[in-house]
Chains A and B, each alone.
Chain A
Amino acid sequence: MNQRRKIRLFFTLLIAGVLLLFCLDLLLGSVLISPAKLIRSVGPDGEEYLRDILLVFRLPKALTAILVGSGLSLAGLMMQTLFRNPLAGPFVLGISSGASLGVAIFVMAAGIGGLSIIGMPFVGSLGLVGASMLGSVLVMMLVIAVSVRVNDSVSILIIGIMFGSITGAIVSVLEYFSDPDTVHSFLVWTFGSISGVTWNQFVIFAPIVVTGILFTLFMQKPLNALLLGENYARGIGVDVKRSRLWIILLTSVIAGGLTAFTGPIAFIGVAVPHLARNLLKSSDHRILIPATICIGSILMLCCDIISQMPGSNQVLPINSVTALFGAPVVIWVITRRKRRSLAN
């Protein structure tokens, strides 16, 4: 049972990593806060501005990073198992394209009609969230309606990609007819952002995403069975059609709920499941699900710290950071394993 002890050690490290990075994410930013100051600021005689920075800005941001990291990674894991395709991710079903179509229509169609949404800050941010939510819900409902009728995972995958292409094309047409300023403000949304999340928004999407994640824990048996292929899964008593519907529903709820508030955050959802599989050397979802949650949180917290560029007033777009710093990590982990297994 050496393997079991190794896995337990790994999880201890992962959880410690999440806690450590969570604290670091609170301390590091344009204003550097020392741990001593952090503890003092929570007390009654703490400095007002520090408490504001911590409670109003950094705490919702760090919590969002954890939800984004674990939620999108988990959604990616489910899609990769369902479609038995290592390139699948949380957005293969076209959820982020749906969200971006919603936002594009909201930002650019209004612009073409002579209205400047961006000029109205309150309506702007609320409308952005609403539009992106509407877009992802719409695509999600289309995909689910299709998957109820089509009893074939590959067809569902292709149809999801087609939905993505259609919405992408409509967005391009809108971009073509919009003025540069509007296009720019749309582009800023596509970069993704977790620092703009406020408590008011957090209390809306956190319960949705957490519920989705909790329900995913119930899916580990069908997910494991699906590794063997759909026919074998049926053979060991899994209702493939119903499981598939649940997997698609949960992925849509998690990915859609997050994308509405943070924009499309790429890369994490595809990469983290591979990291989990390679680091823990397992395909068992009883291990992979908690591992994906931990590794996703760690990676997203790291990316958030990097994107804040501690000590400076500049902020890098989170989407660039995830791929720029995450991709080499994934390449390193995968090639490291290959080398070791060749040596054996």
Chain B
Amino acid sequence: MNQDAILITEDLGIGYPKQGGKPYTVLSNLNLSVNRGQVVCILGRNGSGKSTLLRTLAGIQSALSGNVIIAQQKVNVNQQKHLARLMSVVLTEKVQVKNLSVYDLVSMGRYPHINWLGRMGNEDREKIREALHQVSLDDFRSRDVQELSDGELQRTMIAKALAQDTPLILLDEPTAHLDLPNRIETMLLLRELALETNKAVVLTTHDLDLALQTADCLWLIQPDRGIVAGEPHEMVLNGSFEASFESIKVVKDASGRGFRIQYPRIRK
């Protein structure tokens, strides 16, 4: 077994159980792995099962079959407290709480590590301070969460995940709702975090361009064929990338080393 692998799926089947009937399977027989320090982007069209896969990996919904193994331990949906020390999640749900400061929100990332009273020790406070620093929100600690822009809120949620101090971070569409500069900054931030902290980052996204440039590994969800995994340039060269998305082409960029998406010509 690969010692570096932090997340492994064994014949994983994902989907939705139906009461008294056959379950609705979205994807099955998934055998994937993520190493420490890697950024993995899950790509696919709307409704292809990206979020279902991410939620299953996160233990928010149960797998239909197979196993998810994190840090050599099988994931059990009913062991939330244990899971929360192995992985942290950033979801698409918007947090809407009045009178909650950035610091208080980020400090909730320490919940799996502290007792029922919620009393923070010096180590906890240090982790929170460090997390805020990593997402450059040092001066935002007493700001009300409701007053943040979408980009700042996303960074706060990433800081919460960092404060949780887990070897694996899962993010569901972290770049949705953001403007272009914020999307680029968020992806670069995640890329840097993976390099610096050796955490594994798994995320779903629709930003194909950014994914091609930042990811170590792509998981392409192809209609009827399941998931194809591989390094970005490999996926482009063997045609898997274009096969996953109709109507787009990938071409070499100006430098000749990377790739960019070429959109079909638009008539005006």
What is A's interface to B at a CB cutoff of 8 Å? Answer: 3, 218, 220-221, 224-225, 227-229, 231-232, 234-240, 277, 281-284, 286
Inter-chain contacts of B15 with A (CB < 8 A): none
Contact B58 A235 (CB under 8 A): yes
Leading 10 A-B pairs by shortest Cβ distance: A237-B84, A237-B112, A235-B89, A237-B81, A236-B111, A283-B99, A283-B100, A227-B97, A221-B118, A239-B80
Contact A234:B111 (CB < 8 A) given known A227-B100, A228-B97, A229-B93: no
Shortest CB-to-CB span from A187 to chain B, Å, is: 38
* Interchain CA distance A218-B59 in the complex, whole Å: 25
Interface string of B100-120 (1 = CB under 8 A from A): 100011001101100011100
Shortest CB-to-CB span from B157 to chain A, Å, is: 9
Tell me if B's interface is mostly helix, strand, loop or mixed: loop
Contact A231:B104 (CB < 8 A) given known A218-B116, A238-B80, A283-B99: no
Q: From the candidates A224, A239, A284, name the one contacting B81 in the complex (CB within 8 A).
A: A239
Shortest CB-to-CB span from A79 to chain B, Å, is: 16
* Interchain CA distance A228-B92 in the complex, whole Å: 12
Q: From the candidates A221, A235, A283, name the one contacting B98 in the complex (CB within 8 A).
A: A283
Q: From the candidates A221, A277, A286, name the one contacting B99 in the complex (CB within 8 A).
A: A277
Q: Considering only CB atoms, which chain A residue lies closest to B115 in the complex? A: A221
Contact A229 B88 (CB under 8 A): no
Inter-chain contacts of B89 with A (CB < 8 A): 231-232, 235
* Interchain CA distance A286-B100 in the complex, whole Å: 13
Inter-chain contacts of A240 with B (CB < 8 A): 80
Q: Considering only CB atoms, which chain A residue lies closest to B104 in the complex? A: A284
Q: From the candidates A220, A227, A234, A283, name the one contacting B118 in the complex (CB within 8 A).
A: A220
Residue B129 lies at the interface, judged by CB distance under 8 Å to chain A: no
Known: A232-B93, A237-B111. 13 other contacts (CB 8 A): A218-B116, A220-B118, A221-B116, A221-B117, A229-B91, A229-B95, A232-B91, A234-B80, A236-B109, A237-B80, A237-B81, A239-B81, A277-B99
Contact A221 B111 (CB under 8 A): yes
Q: Considering only CB atoms, which chain A residue lies closest to B81 in the complex? A: A237
Shortest CB-to-CB span from A11 to chain B, Å, is: 17
10 contacts between A and B (CB under 8 A): A221-B118, A224-B108, A225-B108, A231-B93, A232-B91, A236-B88, A237-B112, A238-B111, A239-B78, A283-B97
Q: From the candidates A228, A235, A282, name the one contacting B88 in the complex (CB within 8 A).
A: A235
Interface string of B33-75 (1 = CB under 8 A from A): 0000000000000000000000000111000000000000000
Residue B164 lies at the interface, judged by CB distance under 8 Å to chain A: yes
Residue B83 lies at the interface, judged by CB distance under 8 Å to chain A: yes
Residue B85 lies at the interface, judged by CB distance under 8 Å to chain A: yes
Inter-chain contacts of A238 with B (CB < 8 A): 80-81, 111
Greatest chain B CB density within 10 A among A228, A234, A235, A238 is at A235
Contact A237:B116 (CB < 8 A) given known A224-B108, A281-B99: no
Inter-chain contacts of A282 with B (CB < 8 A): 99
Which residues of chain B from 11 to 31 have any CB-CB distance to chain A below 8 Å in the complex? none
Q: From the candidates A220, A228, A236, name the one contacting B95 in the complex (CB within 8 A).
A: A228
Greatest chain B CB density within 10 A among A231, A238, A282, A286 is at A231
Greatest chain B CB density within 10 A among A218, A227, A229 is at A227
Q: Considering only CB atoms, which chain A residue lies closest to B114 in the complex? A: A221
Contact A237 B85 (CB under 8 A): yes
Q: Considering only CB atoms, which chain B residue lies closest to A238 in the complex? A: B80
Contact B81 A235 (CB under 8 A): no
* Interchain CA distance A220-B160 in the complex, whole Å: 19
* Interchain CA distance A218-B118 in the complex, whole Å: 10
Which residues of chain B from 116 to 167 have any CB-CB distance to chain A below 8 Å in the complex? 116-118, 142, 160, 164
